[in-house]
Amino acid sequence: MSKNMYIDFHVIQTVPPSCVNRDDTGSPKTAMYGGVMRARVSSQAWKRAMRQMFKELFTSKHIGYRTKKLSELVVNQICTDNEDFTAEGMDKTVKEVLELAGVKAGSDKKDALFFVSARQIKNLADLTVKYYRDPGSKDAKKKTYKSDLEKAVKDEPSVDILLFGRMAASNPSLNYDAAAQVAHTISTHGVSNEYDYFTAVDDCGGEDSAGAGHLGTVEFNSSTMYRYATINIRELAENLTCEELKMAARGFAEAFIRSMPTGKQNTFANRTLPNMVYVAAREDQPVNLAGAFERPITAGNGGYVEASEEALAAYAGRLYEDYGNKPVKAWVIGKDCEKLGEKVNLTELLDRIEQVTETYFDEGK
């Protein structure tokens, strides 16, 4: 693939009272931007929510596991495929094989989390059985199998490994650069966290019991947020077939638009859908439009949503005029946003994303 292709996602979304993403003290995360305190949701929190939704959108062979228990997964795969093996009998061999492959992700608490695909687990399991049954000496087997084991851990990555990347400090050759980037979400306006004082009654306390069985407070805020993410289609295309590329781009788009981190969701029932989605296919570079909100939006009588949408559209227009970098294709979900791109619904948007990635793949052959 010689030509660049990026797909940028810009979302305006209102969230009612909530604590979507907490810091180490239990407070909703915040950030200073434009000299004003903003509500914030970390990129890690939203990527986790997206990966959870991937389970609905992709088959099991296209999603991976981020875990310290890689050895257990490989052992379980071996025992599933081979009735004559037991977990106790294969545990030592599996750890030996993983160490040979340069992966430290056994059951030890000191081991790092390792991102692995279902197909890589299967490949490792098959090679481990072959290694175990090989009558050669341990030194001879190590020389014979080392490169094959590294290849088993490197080849056939899952879609989420390609999108979000993988770092293996113990063996950098197993690393994958992320083809997608997700920005920290920030509110388009200033916020002040609030406190909800709550009580819980003991149902079995008896008629003579007075007061609450439990008292507490929970910190929360509400905001209209700007969310941004981008996919490097060129980088994805280097590792996927055309059908897989279309599936990956469509799945990423749907998960980014529809997902919501689950922090305190039972308490606040804060799950919403975006008020506006603007998607741009670009051949120059990704462009984050957070600068539209460096000057915080003020609510007035109309709330934050409409003013945020107008600010985003105006900022994008100025940026494109100043730098001459208008996207090659653009689509928008939302009211009165046609000046940014073709107005579509979610299904139509996902279809358009599939079409542009397929065209890009075909032209790059």
Distance (Å, rounded) from C-alpha 241 to C-alpha 276? Answer: 31
Q: Does residue 21 contact residue 219 with C-beta atoms inside 8 Å?
A: no
Distance (Å, rounded) from C-alpha 100 to C-alpha 139? Answer: 11
Record the pTM.
0.92
Give the pLDDT confidence score for residue 179 in this predicted structure.
97
Tokens 């790059």 appear where? 364
Helix axes 70-81, 87-101, angle to 10 degrees: 130
Tokens (6 digits) for 9: 């996602």
Q: Does residue 188 contact residue 293 with C-beta atoms inside 8 Å?
A: yes
Other CB atoms within a 10 A radius of the CB of residue 365 amount to 6
Q: Average pLDDT per run of 10 along the chain, which is 365 residues long?
A: 90 96 93 97 97 95 91 92 85 90 69 89 94 88 90 94 90 92 98 87 72 81 97 95 96 98 93 97 96 94 92 95 93 89 97 96 79
